[in-house]
Chains A and B, each alone.
Chain A
Amino acid sequence: MAGTSSTEYIPHHLEHLRYDIVKGEWAHGTEGIVNFDLINVDSLFMATIIGVVFATIFRVAARKATSGVPGKFQAFVELVVEFIDDRVAEVFHGSRHFLGPLALTIFCWVVLMNTMDLLPLDIPGMVAAAAGHGHWRALPTADINTTFAMSLTVLILILFFSVKAKGLGGFGHELITAPFGKHPALWIPNFALNIVELLAKPVSLAMRLFGNMYAGELVFMLIALLGFAWGGALAAGSYGAGLAGALGQIVLTAGWAIFHILIILLQGFIFMVLTVVYISMSQESH
């Protein structure tokens, strides 16, 4: 990354690899906040590959499962599945036939995607530069598109389970009569409150995961910038500052990475628990 200044380092690393599907060419920069023509190829690719890896690992574990003494791999997979099953059983008292695998997928997929944050920052960019493109963000959940895609899917599931449990008429009735009452004058406030509640769920799910991962990745970038700046001091001949910078960067990055491992697991766990709670809440009637 020689030649970039420190003020260009961070915006350079914040750029996604974008493809314009309407024009059929690689896009640079966006016009406006929302632009549905563009696809973030790096997030899409990483998320898909990670999902396929997760599914393959767990499928292999399921195929090779024995009911005798389990090996370490099977024991690990059973640990994860049992952990998720306990969590779902705590919250949801119906059949865990669908909700269990959904919770497992959400937890493992989000945790695996979040773990991409621990990759050293410049390496994906260097690999992409070798392939000719220069930008590659390895962390799919620091892209708000990914997190909103997941939470909008959860919203669709909430609506689906709500309608399935209460019927379309019951669902509509509840939209306009809960929580204040049945009087027709209260229909509009009821409806407004219910819509706000229904929209707040996916928005808060998505923004929580995005904010945590984006802030974490940004702190990694800032720490990397410290090392970068002190590397510049080394090149300028100030060896003490250069060494201090290199050591400081290693120590700080290690410290922040260790803390971030907790955040990675916690955010995946929270996303999963909240999904299960929302879906189970949508099936109970007032």
Chain B
Amino acid sequence: MQQYIALIQGYTALGIGIIIGLGAIGACIGIGIMGSKFLESAARQPELMPRLQGSMFLLAGLIDAAFLIGVAIAMFFAFANPLLARLAG
């Protein structure tokens, strides 16, 4: 029984790491691309910068969304692991 619990906990920990890690890669690359385009266009047309900045923040929030949903799910597995509960029940 101890072994089964250890097995589930070990794999869950790996899973949490993968969720957060891959999500972070996606979010950071996305923000990087968006930020670089924003800076390029701000340098090209500085008068549009306030208008573009508003849209940039909006997009930053949208890009982070999937990553943070992944973090929320990973935290759920970290603290209230349903797979462990299934084993106990």
List residues of A whose CB falls within 8 A of some B CB: 10-11, 14, 33, 204, 207-208, 210-212, 214-215, 218, 266-267, 269-270, 273
Contacts and interface: CB of A to CB of B under 8 A. Distances in A.
B87 to A, nearest CB: 15
A49 to B, nearest CB: 25
Nearest to B74: A215
Given A210-B72, A269-B57, A270-B58, 8 more contacts: A33-B82, A204-B65, A207-B65, A211-B72, A212-B64, A215-B75, A266-B61, A270-B62
B80 interface: yes
A147 B89 CA distance: 30
A-side interface mostly: helix
B58 A11 contact: no
Contacts of B75: 214-215, 218
Given A11-B79, A33-B82, A267 B61 contact: yes
A11 B58 CA distance: 33
Which of A10, A11, A210, A214 has the most chain B CB atoms inside 10 A of its CB?
A: A214
Interface of B: 57-58, 60-62, 64-65, 68-73, 75, 79-80, 82
Given A204-B65, A208-B68, A211-B72, A266 B79 contact: no
A212 B73 CA distance: 11
Contacts, number: 45
Contacts of B57: 266, 269
Nearest to A265: B57
Contacts of A270: 58, 61-62
A211 B71 contact: yes
A273 B58 contact: yes
A216 to B, nearest CB: 9
Contacts of B72: 207, 210-211, 214-215
19 contacts: A10-B79, A14-B79, A207-B65, A208-B61, A208-B68, A210-B69, A210-B72, A211-B65, A211-B69, A211-B70, A211-B72, A212-B65, A214-B75, A215-B68, A215-B72, A266-B57, A266-B61, A267-B61, A269-B57
Given A10-B79, A11-B80, A14-B80, A212 B58 contact: no
A168 B65 CA distance: 33
A210 B69 CA distance: 8
Given A33-B82, A214-B72, A215-B75, A208 B60 contact: no
Contacts of A204: 65
